[in-house]
Amino acid sequence: MRIEVELPEVAGDKSDEATISSWFVEEDDEVEEGETLVELAVGENTFGVHAPATGRLVEIVAQEGDVVQVGDILAIMETEEEEEDY
């Protein structure tokens, strides 16, 4: 299943944008749920965005130095989980 990793709202911060500081993983890396994928900066503060699931990072969409908005896609992941049909 494909998962889009998006920039979340930062609690307590009124800014709706952040700058990509550094990626801690590369495309095709296997990642664990909760692992920090990327560090972002908002003014003087930094924070990490974590993997929403265990899987493989297939594409980095936002590069280091890019300014991204809340809701922008930072990366695409693939998981082993199959989507269930109901």
Domain count within the chain: 1
Token pair, residue 18, equals 């952040």
Residue pLDDT, tens place only, 7-66: 998 766 667 899 999 999 999 999 999 999 999 998 888 999 999 999 999 999 999 999
Q: Identify whether the C-beta of residue 26 lies closer than 8 Å to the C-beta of residue 40.
A: no
Domain span holding position 8: 2-78
Tell me the pTM: 0.86
Is 12 domain-assigned? yes
Read off the CATH number of the domain in which 69 is found: 2.40.50.100
SS3 41: strand
Q: Could you tell me the maximum CA-CA distance found in the chain, to the nearest angstrom?
A: 47
Give a yes or no: residue 83 inside a domain: no
85 in any annotated domain: no
User: Could you tell me if residue 48 is inside a domain?
Assistant: yes
The answer as to whether 72 is a domain residue is: yes
